[in-house]
Each structure stands twice: as structure tokens, then as C-alpha cells.
Amino acid sequence: MDDEIAALYAERGKDPNSVGIVETQYWTCQDEPLDLECGRRLTPYTLAYETYGELSPQRDNVILIFHALSGDAHVAGYHTPTDTKPGWWDLMIGPGKPMDTNRYFVICANVLAGCKGSTGPSSINPETGRPYGLSFPLVTIGDMVRAQERLLSHLGIERLLAVVGASMGGMQALEFVVQFPERVASVLAIATAARMSTQGIAFDAIARHAIMSDPNWRQGDYYGGQPPASGLSIARMIGHITYLSEEQMTTKFGRRLQSRESYGYDMAVEFQVESYLDHQGNSFVQRFDPNSYLYITKAIDYFDLAAGRHSLVEAFSGVTAEFLVVSFTSDWLFPTHQSKELVRALQANGVRTTFLEITSDYGHDTFLLPNPELGSAVSAFLGQVAAREWAATRREDA
């Protein structure tokens, strides 16, 4: 970051160790259809992605980050000097940060079916000249990572120092290493699981019903008109509750009223927690496509790493990458016992695995918040993996 921009960031209260101004890039695959698990083919398709840091001459310092449900390719930095909000994981990526861009080349791509530059339901169907809507094929976590693997090949990257993901991003990291074990040296799986729980599927189903029950949804053909904003807002409220913990909600809101001193005995928004959820829902509809929410939650619900195999142990049978598995004590969406299931299956295959449970009252969203213990663990883990990998690759080049 140059001095002028660094001064501007400092003046605005921004992190001077940010990666600075970044630009979203786009890659379109025109000539190789993507065979999807649903039995259909997708062509052409585009992935939006961003990169941070410098690719080493040996191309051995690459970290691929997978985003969660509502994330996108903009994981760090700012798009313009006047932006007030950085990328969604800016606290983890940048010079001197856990994913140190002075050492590593970091890539993050918007998932297939997303709405932030990658091909999805809101994209134009080349056969009709209109948005796909529900004619867009259902995609899976496996489809998402196969598309990103092709992006890596396009960029000339054969092997990754690490794949990193939390929540749905962790599912993608797990799927990637199982599908392409030879391409991965290490995996950081944070607040994630080998499959979505029944309770998680239930919450996703209610969220989808909220969107599809909105009169403006019109079977997904709302483009050019009023979107199902009310339904998406409710879906976001439902999801957001699962990202928090009871302790956090009690501490932050309790039973406090928002703008009244006593109950109004009407149906107005009265409690602070109600007002907070309204804000979360209303702000979300400004940046996310309702159909993408349907498609991505469906992909999460379909995900089951052991499906088609005898067990989760068998799923990891070809994996040689080193693992760091992290959970949070107050995360009830992806609780610690699901992380331990991953650890047991990995250890049954002799995979070098480190497990860390972090005490936190912030629930599932802990991974998005400043957490020195998580940052230190990620930094140390990547440093150890890099030392081993670089000793091997750079000795061969000498």
C-alpha cells in the first residue's frame, strides 16, 4: 500500500496493514463444459476472483480460500479508497497477518451459483438472452470446487500450499482435498462439518420457504421487477440467528426495548433484538440475489462427504495433506462434536491432524471476528507447512 492511501486509511480508521486497493477479476470457461452432479452440463460459465500478494517463481505459495454462504470473492482490501468496509476476512489476510501476503499468494473466488460475478441464477442464459432464474441447474459443493480447480489450471497453479474455509467454505475445502488430493499440501477446516446436520437442513428449508412464499418471487422469474425482498429478509434473519450464540444475544440485547420504556401492547418492533434482525435482513437484500440464496443453501444441504462411500474414513483414504481443524465452544450450528468426527476419520487414515477448540461466546460467527487464538494458530500452522513444502520444492529447483 502506498503512503498516500495508507494515510487515508489511517485517517478513516482503516487498517494500515490492509492489502490496499484490489480489483475483482473474471475468468470465463468457453470451451470445456462443466458436467454437474445433477446430470446437466453448464457452458459457458464465469468465475469472479481476487488475488492478493505475489506468486512465487516456484508457484508454491498459493492459498485458496473458500467463502461461506453469503460471502464472495472480495475477501480482503478495498475496491476504492473511499470504501468504508473491507473484504469479509480482511483481519486474516494482509502484510503481517495470519495469511501474510508478504509470503503467500492468496486467491478467493465467488462460488458457482453465486451473485457476485460468478455464473448463477441471475446471470444471462446465452440460449434465451434472459436471466436463468430457476432454469439454472442445481449445483453441489462438488460442482463448485471442480469449477475452481479449473480456474487454478487456467492460472497455471498445480499445487496449493493450503485450502482454507469456514462454514460452507470449510465444506468446499474438505471436498477439494478429497477430489484433488495431489493438489493440496494442507487444509484449514474451520467451524465446519462433513455434512449438514438435520437441524441445519431444517433452518435452511424454512429460509427457502420464506423466499418462495413471497408473492414477488414468481417462481424465480422476478428479474426486471420487484424482487422477493421480504422473503429474503426473513431468510437472512433466520440464518443470522444460527450464527450467533445464546450468550452473545443475551449480553448484546437481553430483553431490552429499542425505543420504548414499556411495552406498547401492539405488533410494532419493540425489543432491541427485533430491531437488530430487521437491520440484518434489510441490509442483506441490498447485496444478495434471492435465487442464489435458494441454490447455495440447497448445495449445503446436499453436501455429505461420506455419500457413496462406506464411511467418512473411506472418504479421506486418499488424502495426504496436513490438517488444522478448528471449532468454537458456542457454535451450535457446527458444534465441536462434528469437528471431532472429522479428526477421528483423518487420524484413522494416519493423516497428520491438529485439532483446536477455541473458547468463545460469539457462536458460529467467531471466525469472522478478531480472535488472537485463531490468528496465531493459522499463522503457525501455515508457517510449518510452508517450511516443509518450500524446503522440498526449492531444493529441487536449486
Residues 6+ positions from 206 with CB-CB distance below 8 Å = 238
Number of C-beta neighbours around residue 229 at 10 A: 18
Element containing residue 302 per DSSP (H, E): helix 290-302
Q: Answer left, alpha or beta for residue 249, where phi above 0 means left and psi between -120 and 50 means alpha.
A: alpha
Instruction: Answer yes or no: are the C-beta atoms of 358 and 245 closer than 8 Å.
Output: no
Residues tagged active-site: 167, 331, 364
Cα-based distances in Å from 138 to 38, 41, 47, 142, 240: 7, 11, 17, 12, 24
Burial label, 126 (beta-carbon count in 10 A; 0-12, 13-18, 19+): exposed
Give the residue among 298, 301, 303, 292 at the shortest CA–CA distance from 120: 292
The DSSP letter of residue 21 is: B
CB of 173 closer than 8 Å to CB of 189: yes
Give CA angle at 61 (57, 64), nearest 5°: 130
Q: Which three cell numbers stand for residue 329?
A: 465452544
320 grid coordinates: 495426504
CB-facing half-sphere around the CA of 147: CA atoms within 13 A: 37
DSSP 12: T
- What's the CA gap between 15 and 10, in Å, rounded? 7
Q: What is the DSSP string of 221-267?
A: --TTS---HHHHHHHHHHHHHHHS-HHHHHHHTTT-BSS-SS--SSS
